[in-house]
Structure 1
Amino acid sequence: METSKKDKKNHLTRFHYTVEQVIEKPFNWKQMLRLLTYLKPYAKSYLPAAIIAMLVSTFVRLAVPILVGKVAIDIAILNKDTTLLTWLVVIIGCLYLLSYLANVLRIKWVNQLGQNVIYDLRHHLFSHVQRLSHGFFDHRSAGSILVRILNDINSLQELFTNGIINLLMDSITLIGIMVILFVLSPKLAIAVLIVLPIMFYISTKLRRNIRRSWQKVRINQSRMNSHLNEAIQGMRITQSFSQERENAEFFDGVNKGFFHSFRDAAKKSALFRPFVDMSDAVGTIILIAFGSYLILLGEANGGIAIGTFVSFAYFTGMFWEPISRLGQMYNQLLMAMASSERIFEFLDERPNVKEKENAYVFQNMKGHIQFERVQFSYNQDRIALHEISLNIEAGETIALVGHTGSGKSTIANLISRFYDPTEGAVKIDGKDLRDVELASLREQISVVLQDTFIFSGTIMENIRFGRPDATDEEVIEAAKVVGADDFIKRLSNGYATEVEERGNILSAGERQLLSFARALLANPRIIILDEATASIDTESEMKIQQALKRLLKGRTSIIIAHRLSTIREADKIFVLENGKILESGNHQTLIAERGKYYELVKSQFTMLDAL
């Protein structure tokens, strides 16, 4: 236990070290501009409308203090002009009503703008991730990908719904106030705003620490969500090994990491508002002291009128509010930058398997497969295939056998072009797969894996997954052919039965039968069965073997199997070891040669006899 805790502690230390390396990056304005390009589709609709509404409400805020101070006090009240005063009350009331309507519309439009941008960004990221090659998913957990698509994009919501418009509004308000203050009284304006340079100097010092803290929060949150996803998906394993307490302890460490980082970031961010309030207090004291002196001095001697002082008091009170919001907006930008870095990291990923422009589109694939001196490696340290040459005729059934790691599944992956060969070429009907449109290739290949994936939805929807336009009758017929119809009818709602995530209500054999029906309904020219019968009992396997004899006829079929009894009738069998082909031939030929295949068959049947 002590060793485990020590390892976890060391892991956390390495994690924090990584964070420190990341957070030293400067604020990336180029990246922020890239983020703002998602506003472009709405540049002629919601965005200008929201900006106009914002300008109207900002104009009202700036106009009212001038009307109150310079007109109402210095003219109407001093001259006892009740008519002008009445008109001013009506005008100011109408202006506030106009401001209210403008604010309602602004809030409505910016929310519509923000929600549309978030929708577009999430759609873009998910669509992009779907197009990435298998190599991308080989090195990333599902949890880390979920965090980018959900949490990181959600953290941008406040920026797009309120942040951008508020930033414009507060900036215009600040500039407007400063211009008006200097027009009203340059002396008093300089005196009141003298605290600004000090404030900006200190706030600049705070920004780096605040940005660091929010980046640390994002990474801690990502780590916690990744662990949660892994823990929930592996709950059966956790419980079967009675590791609930250890799992809870590790999650507690991750949770505390997020808790402490968020508390630290919130604490540093919270320092900004009191600092602004203190600056406001200092400015107010200067206003009262120096403003009173200028009033007593009189306008004739370079002083100010009472109305000017009242307007100044209004604007000074308004001045610090947008500064405070801009400080909060900066925190928002820091959070957005931390998230956008992670989002654009995925968006900048490019598929290892690239599709050429004007790629060849398969119209009538025959299914003739050729491997020409193919070499492939998942990484530089280990070569998975060594100069493999294969020739699989159209409609031929071949089998790949060998120990785990011999390269069988790699060959299947290259046929579907989930990866490209490092050297050599893989061809179908004489066409190099690197010159072929991916969709037209994969539409004519069905793959059935040992660990089949069942989606949430009905049985009917799962079978129809590879061919959405198939009729109910075609779905049922495919299920009947593979022997799945019997158990489906016994379910509570038959083909309309809802299956949970990953098909947990079904047995392993039933899930495999559904995957057979799904693959066969797609009517492919090439079928790849990767340990597809491993989870099916002997009785079901016999039924499937009979069905496959009919269904594989006329199609090119690649069968990967450890259970050698399932491949006896294959046209050709390739025996692989360490990425090389040792033997090839049909069952009888290889048995007669008494080589590697003979040893595999003999050892397997010896184990069965021992049982």
Structure 2
Amino acid sequence: LFDFMKEAILTVLGQKFTKEVRLEMMEKLEKINAMFFSFNESGTVVSRFTNDVNAINSLFTSGIVGMVVDCFKIIGIMFSIWLFSAKLGMITLFLLPIIYAITRLFQRKMLNAQIENRILVGKVNNHISESLKNVQMIKCFSKESYMERNYTKYLLDNYKTVEKVNFYDSVFSPIIKLTRAVAISVIVILSSKQLNYLGISLGMVAASIDLISNLFTPIENLGMELQNIQQAISGIHRVNDFYREPEDDVKNDERQAVALIPNRKEVRLSFNEVTFHYEEGTEVLQNINLQINGGEKVTFVGRTGVGKSTLFKLILGLIKPSTGSITINGVDVYSISNAEKRKIFGFVDQSFHLIKGTVADQISLQDNNITREQIKNALDFVGLTEYVISLENGYDTQVTSETLFSQGQKQLLAIARAIVTNPPILLLDEITANLDSITEEKIVSVLQKASHAHTILSISHRLSSMIASDTVVILEKGRVKNVGSPEMLLRNDDWYRSHIALEKLAWG
């Protein structure tokens, strides 16, 4: 009955502990700096939430209890041996540091192997996730063997670390048994008639041998638990590393979007000596100084890798400038709360990411503050209302497949998602890059319609497909090379003029 109660209580407490740790980790994930996701693969993050937390849970549900019981057994047996003979007690005490040194040596070896194993488990999980996500591309390009080789490599590396752990675990027990045999032999020799060093009777010798054998049993049990303990410790290390990741600064500006921008024509977006570089990396952007006014349409152009998308991340407040600031009507965008930022900025990415839920959820992102009327207006604006109504359950149709919408329709959904809150500023990141010319023309016409009521910032590689812009900003090596109207740049900027000429030649 006691064992049943113990197991039941430990199971309940263990599950509660696991739940609380994962909830805290999710809260941390929501606060963590966006830079974290640039350097950590999704499979590695998932592994911390699953495998590492499960390892810690096993320590609390079984490992700690077993350790405490075994420690009390060791103390009790040592006390009994000391009562038999102080000399025998001293010999036994001399053995403990030796056993501790052996245990500590194996502990360190196993901990390193376990941490390495945890990292490789994350890589294996990430590879599986990546393979499932890109299965169509893998099959189209006949890369099954390549992905299989990579998976086999990660799996073999992981297997080697597991073998290393198992080796240390299997060697530890025989070494403890050998130490016990040596200790018993020494006691028998010291208790012989010739030496009689311990001064105890034959019966007490037999009892002492039994006690020393029993002393090594909990020590051996501790060694058997060593692998589970080390797994848990390596899990704790990785979870602690996760908790130590830098968080976003507190968004302490509580002003609402309406108060910040009372009139959408009175928008003033300023870049003040903005420089940005990744940790221990070269500068991506250097000394950017710009001012964009309400209703203005600005296109950022330049070669791949000059920092255009990074600039948008800075505007959205996802990352913080290394030096300088970006302000909207004098308020640093990084200090504005995320909830209010959605009312200020509408962001359209190169690809549309579906979420679990209905068609309406794809637009609102399950934000209860967005009404059904706003969703209908957004879909009507981009011209998708007729198609959505034709679906089985209309706006409430569950999106269970990527094939429910074409590539062009997904991009229109992305625009609808961006404009549903009617934000004064739209950011468009190369949104026509993967579309055919007919779909591209339709999307550009939708954006031209949106441009009358919004300040629009766009990134474009194809200058021929960019929406009619008041200003073009040319970026080169992270700096602003030139700023002006398309007509002015066509006359004065060699790079812009040659780029336009090349595109015309390609179309011709």
Bucket of the pairwise TM-score, normalised by the shorter protein: 0.7 to 0.9
1:119 matched residue in structure 2: 19
Contact 1:388–1:581 (CA<8 Å) still a contact in 2? yes
2:70 matched residue in structure 1: 170
Contact 2:78–2:89 (CA<8 Å) still a contact in 1? no
Contact 1:467–1:522 (CA<8 Å) still a contact in 2? no
Letter in 2 for 1:323: I
Q: Of 365, 372, 379, which residue of structure 2 is paired with 1:472?
A: 372
TM-score under structure 1 length normalisation: 0.69
Contact 2:165–2:227 (CA<8 Å) still a contact in 1? no
Deviation of the 1:590 alpha carbon: 4.5
Cα distance in structure 1, aligned partners of 2:109 and 2:433: 56
SS in structure 2 of the partner of residue 534 of structure 1? coil
Q: Of 316, 335, 342, which residue of structure 1 is paired with 2:231?
A: 335
Contact 1:482–1:543 (CA<8 Å) still a contact in 2? no
1:215 matched residue in structure 2: 115
1:444 matched residue in structure 2: 344
Letter in 1 for 2:472: I
Letter in 2 for 1:334: Q
Rg larger in structure: 1
Over residues 332-356 of structure 1, what are the superposed CA-to-partner deviations in whole Å (9 max), with x where a residue is unaligned?
22222222222222221214x5347
1:354 matched residue in structure 2: 249
Cα distance in structure 2, aligned partners of 1:260 and 1:595: 58
Deviation of the 1:521 alpha carbon: 1.8
Cα distance in structure 1, aligned partners of 2:103 and 2:475: 66
SS in structure 1 of the partner of residue 11 of structure 2? helix
Greater shift after overlay, 516-525 or 570-579?
A: 570-579
1:104 matched residue in structure 2: 4
Cα distance in structure 2, aligned partners of 1:336 and 1:302: 44
Contact 1:467–1:521 (CA<8 Å) still a contact in 2? no
Cα distance in structure 1, aligned partners of 2:257 and 2:481: 35
Deviation of the 1:528 alpha carbon: 0.6
Cα distance in structure 1, aligned partners of 2:280 and 2:337: 28
Cα distance in structure 2, aligned partners of 1:390 and 1:203: 63
- Structure 2 CA distance for partners of 1:376 and 1:257, relative to 1, 3 Å: closer
Matched, 1:518 2:417: yes
1:259 matched residue in structure 2: 159
- Structure 2 CA distance for partners of 1:341 and 1:582, relative to 1, 3 Å: same
Matched, 1:535 2:434: yes
- Structure 2 CA distance for partners of 1:132 and 1:442, relative to 1, 3 Å: farther
SS in structure 2 of the partner of residue 361 of structure 1? coil
Deviation of the 1:465 alpha carbon: 0.8
Greater relative contact order (Cα < 8 A, sep 6+): 2
1:129 matched residue in structure 2: 29
Contact 1:512–1:536 (CA<8 Å) still a contact in 2? no
Deviation of the 1:258 alpha carbon: 1.9
Cα distance in structure 1, aligned partners of 2:104 and 2:487: 80
Contact 1:155–1:335 (CA<8 Å) still a contact in 2? yes
Greater shift after overlay, 318-327 or 167-176?
A: 318-327
Aligned residues, how many?
495
- Structure 2 CA distance for partners of 1:202 and 1:526, relative to 1, 3 Å: same
Higher helix share: 1
Fraction of identical pairs, as percent: 25
2:502 matched residue in structure 1: 603
Deviation of the 1:159 alpha carbon: 0.7
Contact 1:397–1:557 (CA<8 Å) still a contact in 2? yes
SS in structure 2 of the partner of residue 453 of structure 1? coil
SS in structure 2 of the partner of residue 389 of structure 1? strand
Letter in 1 for 2:35: G
2:143 matched residue in structure 1: 243
Matched, 1:579 2:478: yes
Cα distance in structure 2, aligned partners of 1:267 and 1:383: 47
Matches within 5 A, 1:402-417: 402-417=302-317
2:297 matched residue in structure 1: 397
Contact 2:342–2:421 (CA<8 Å) still a contact in 1? no
Cα distance in structure 1, aligned partners of 2:418 and 2:322: 29
1:86 matched residue in structure 2: none
Deviation of the 1:448 alpha carbon: 0.8
Cα distance in structure 1, aligned partners of 2:224 and 2:343: 51
Contact 1:483–1:544 (CA<8 Å) still a contact in 2? no
Cα distance in structure 2, aligned partners of 1:416 and 1:219: 32
2:407 matched residue in structure 1: 508
Deviation of the 1:154 alpha carbon: 2.2
Cα distance in structure 1, aligned partners of 2:303 and 2:103: 64
Cα distance in structure 2, aligned partners of 1:206 and 1:468: 55
Cα distance in structure 2, aligned partners of 1:262 and 1:525: 56
2:447 matched residue in structure 1: 548
Letter in 1 for 2:236: S
Contact 1:191–1:287 (CA<8 Å) still a contact in 2? no
- Structure 2 CA distance for partners of 1:488 and 1:324, relative to 1, 3 Å: farther
- Structure 2 CA distance for partners of 1:109 and 1:285, relative to 1, 3 Å: farther
SS in structure 2 of the partner of residue 163 of structure 1? helix
Cα distance in structure 2, aligned partners of 1:383 and 1:289: 74
Letter in 1 for 2:414: S
Letter in 1 for 2:60: F
Deviation of the 1:450 alpha carbon: 0.6
- Structure 2 CA distance for partners of 1:379 and 1:111, relative to 1, 3 Å: closer
Deviation of the 1:135 alpha carbon: 2.6
Q: Of 47, 51, 55, which residue of structure 2 is paired with 1:155?
A: 55
Matches within 5 A, 1:219-298: 219-274=119-174
Cα distance in structure 2, aligned partners of 1:569 and 1:246: 44
Letter in 2 for 1:374: V
1:561 matched residue in structure 2: 460
Cα distance in structure 2, aligned partners of 1:595 and 1:187: 95
Greater shift after overlay, 408-417 or 194-203?
A: 194-203
Letter in 2 for 1:161: T
Deviation of the 1:500 alpha carbon: 4.8
Greater shift after overlay, 150-159 or 189-198?
A: 189-198
Letter in 2 for 1:485: T
Contact 2:427–2:458 (CA<8 Å) still a contact in 1? yes
TM-score under structure 2 length normalisation: 0.82
Cα distance in structure 1, aligned partners of 2:466 and 2:69: 72
Deviation of the 1:529 alpha carbon: 0.9
Cα distance in structure 1, aligned partners of 2:148 and 2:396: 38
Letter in 2 for 1:171: C
Deviation of the 1:601 alpha carbon: 3.2
Cα distance in structure 2, aligned partners of 1:487 and 1:305: 94
Contact 1:466–1:519 (CA<8 Å) still a contact in 2? no
